[in-house]
Amino acid sequence: MGELMRDATTGLAWRVAEPAPTAPTSLLVLLHGVGGNEAQLADLARTAGPDVLVVLPQGRLVLGPGQFGWFRVAFTPTGPQITPEEAEASRIALTQWIGTLQRQHGVAPSRTVVAGFSQGGIMSASVALTAPESVAGFGVLAGRILPELEAAVAPAERLRALRGFIGHGIHDSKLPVTWAERADAWLTQLGVPHTTRLYPVDHTLSAGMRADFEAWYRPLLAAASA
């Protein structure tokens, strides 16, 4: 990965996967989970095409040495309890920052995919569903869609061009598979075309999930670049 860079407007830090294309045709933004860092999804970056600029941002909250997050969350018997103002601030910052990257590198929103693992997947859905014109698609890998997002979701007519991918472990002990089922139902209700895949794993980015996500986003970016 390249050196850590920081956006003066949003405060977001990120690295670019190397080798970076000199004239990228597409943009893939990969968001890590809570307690992780920008290196967590580096393996996904290695399999992107040679014309795809892959950027790996770092969560805005410092949780420990080398550990970051997009918002604080407590796992309770009644489900995850988030700090909503932190999630909202990260959503706004990510949306603005993605727009800046697109302008700097001459990549259109129609050639941009945002995806992430766990909390990173949550943020991917938050960006895409509230600002669907900013990306072509989003991936939620072992994550969920925040119920708190409902009031900010864009109208159905703005969501029609968006595409989504949901990958989740059937045995997920951190975010039970019911979250994937809820996300699938919600996207269907919103009219967002999407693919949902379940895997016989716990809370992890499995090889099968990775392969299915790659098989989903590559044609999406290729079609937009044609």
Provide the CATH number for the domain around residue 26.
3.40.50.1820
Q: What is the predicted pLDDT for the residue at 224?
A: 60
Q: Is residue 41 part of a domain?
A: yes
With tokens 């080798």, the residue in question is 19
Q: Does a structural domain hold residue 226? A: no
- Residue 108, CA distances (Å) to 24, 81, 85, 133 in order: 11, 35, 29, 10
| Average pLDDT score over residue span 16-43 | 94
| One-character DSSP codes across 164-215 | EEEEEETT-SSS-THHHHHHHHHHHHHT--EEEEEES-SSS--HHHHHHHHH
Indicate whether 205 belongs to any domain.
yes
State whether residue 51 is helix, strand or coil. coil
- Lowest pLDDT segment from 21-25, 116-120, 205-209: 21-25
**Residue 103 lies inside a defined structural domain of this protein:** yes
pLDDT at site 225? 52
Question: Domain count of the chain?
Answer: 1
Say if 207 falls within a structural domain.
yes
- Whole-number pLDDT of residue 222: 83
Short-list 59, 62, 67, CA closest to 93? 59
Task: Copy the structure tokens of residue 26.
Answer: 């597409």
Average pLDDT, stretch 40-68? 93
In-domain check, residue 46 = yes
Long-range contacts from 77-80, C-beta under 8 angstroms, 24+ separation? 80/144, 80/175
pLDDT at position 81 is 84
Inside any domain, residue 184 = yes
Mean pLDDT within 215-224:
87
Q: Convert the pLDDT of each residue in 187-202 to its tens digit.
A: 999 999 999 999 999 9
Domain of 26 in residue numbering reads as 3-221
Determine which of 23-37, 69-83, 177-191 has the lowest per-residue pLDDT on average. Answer: 69-83
d(CA 159, CA 181): 20
Residue 93 in any domain: the answer is yes
For residue 20, the 8-state DSSP code is P
* H-state helical runs in the chain: 42-46, 84-105, 119-130, 156-159, 178-190, 207-225
